[in-house]
Amino acid sequence: SLRFPQRLWKLVESHQFQSIWWSESEKCVAINEELLKEEVLGGGAPQRVFGMNSMKSFLWQMNLYGFTKLRQDFQRSASLPEFLAEEAAASAHSQVLYYYNPSFHRDHPHLLASCKRR
């Protein structure tokens, strides 16, 4: 069984979910909170990725593994489709959250081994 960081990595890398993605900097995880509740955590979610069903539990795990909430991403997307997707997500009534962890970086999956519980 995979630990939380590995499950999160698979989720972010998957193009199956619209609620969570790599930020443009590829150093942060962007989360559409309301959509994540429906898509991943909710009772009607097609796949149970995590053994939890509340946003509070999910964010507690993020904090437990050393993720830090940021005000916003470092930069906006350069490509038009990504920019429009981010704008659509941001303008929806749900909030986009950005989380950073130095051991959770798109180009460096080997760093996941150092992503430990506090």
Q: Which CATH number fits domain 4-105: 1.10.3720.10, 1.10.10.10, 1.10.3210.10, 2.40.33.20?
A: 1.10.10.10
Segment (H or E) for 116? none
Q: How confident is the model at residue 21 (pLDDT cuts 50, 70, 90)?
A: very high
pLDDT of residue 78: 61
Predicted TM-score of the model (pTM): 0.76
Cα Dmax for the chain:
39
pLDDT digits (tens, 9 = 90+) for 105-117: 998 999 999 999 9
Residues 106/27, Cβ–Cβ less than 8 Å: yes
